[in-house]
Structure 1
Amino acid sequence: MPIPIAKARLLDGKRGLIVGIANDRSIAWGCARAFRAFGAELAVTYLNDKARAHVEPLARELEAPIFLPLDVAVPGQMEAVFEAIAREWGTLDFVVHSIAFSPQGTLAGRVTDAPLDGFLKTMEISCWSFIRMAHLAEPLMTEGGTLFTMTYYGSERVVENYNIMGVAKAALESAVRYLAAELGPRGIRVHAISPGPLATRASSGIPEFDALLEKAKTKAPARELVSIDDVGAATAFLAHDAARRMTGQVLYIDGGYHIMD
């Protein structure tokens, strides 16, 4: 069940792009649902034709007027999405980047043994794509805006089996800080959201992930796992003007797991 959200439509008039919905267990779906509940209008993307069948019903539920394919590894697709937003809306208030990928052989192996092609693909999808989205979003954020990406605790601590993705997330968090510094004068804020472990399609590729979930549940002060709706509500808050003096942050939504030894 979604967490309760105030009836006040705090993001009325805001328009944003949600990238990364794969199904109704995706973090991006939790974010999209929260943003929509707060009154925002959404553009939604899907990875490919196979994913469309799962995402299209969710896009209809969100009443998304823009629904387009986006595989960031396909040349021109990112540009096409932002061009469509420019034609339809003219401006943009926020972007949620909730995608990451590493080839299975690279992700499952030691960082020490990472092949160049696997390393580059991991960085392209998991980090560079966010930088590119910031570049494309900037001219549309004429009144300022907020850019969000998803990270994880494995960026700053060695988490067993997280491997090369921890390296990519560390780079992503550094990119957030540099983007925040560069775009801040234009009123554009940039944040990395760091949820606790969640049973999503993306996490299914991490070996022994069930053990990581159990560890998070027993170790976190809250003694509970977070939900996609927890993540969504907190992310949506940061898009509100009340958070206008917050930028360049890594926001942990993990029941306090990251503070424990």
Structure 2
Amino acid sequence: MDGVMSSTKSISSTGEKLRRSPPNTYFPQVTFLSEEILILVQRQGNALELCQITWEDPPVLNTLCVLVLPALQRGISCVMVECQGDQIVAPQDILARSRRLPFVSDPNATVLCFTLGFRQVFGGYDYLRSVSFWVRRSSLREYAVRGGNQNYPWDSWGPSTTRWTDWEHGLAPCRPGGSRSALFPLLIEVGTGNPIVIRDFHPERVRRALSRSKGPSWSDGRLKVVTESSMIEKGDEFLDDIISSLPYCEATSEKRYGYHEVLIDDERIRGDDEGTLDVHLMI
């Protein structure tokens, strides 16, 4: 569970139930946007449900809005959902963190990374397809604040506020740190390793990078800025190709590493090489 605050813990300690729902209504993943606003992922509805804890007696969980995800093919359902991102930092802790770190992430620019898994059987073999998308916490909070228990179709909210990637392209996203997310290769090149790829979704960093270019996107080899839309193919799971356009900067390390996973926070990049943990300062 992501970023559960003390006020929410008090509910679990008293055994209060915020809501009773039929089995398999939601995936077990719960992500908090704030101390009182959380995200549930609907199994049948294929959507993000933003809810708020209302401090009544007893406390209740009210739906603020529903953000529908890209439509699936008939007979297809998601079998796994994972959401990763920084834990919620209490306001009084932000100053303390900023004093001991080289820089601290802007809470309004931090991103969450959702991964959806689909399993099918072809010729007796299991096939698992994973896709992921990044979205800023602030974008989700904007819809939560509107309230009204409205349903927002995918085309009305998703393409402009998310950026999708398909694991079949060879890179899988790691847990974001602030507005940044590392991607690591699913297959490691023996003997040479792979470069580390970092994506930064902070809007101010994207703006500054674009100020040095003449077009909406640019690349100089290891560094690039992407503001144009990208597409992942619908495959056998989705009804249509998925278009997304959340801007980002991307940096690729010059050196190559044999890491199996990369972790990132405000201060460091940590590479895991079968039990050996290397640490690199963020630059």
TM-score by length of structure 2 reads: 0.27
**Structure that is richer in strand per residue:** 2
Larger Rg: 2
**Structure that is richer in helix per residue:** 1
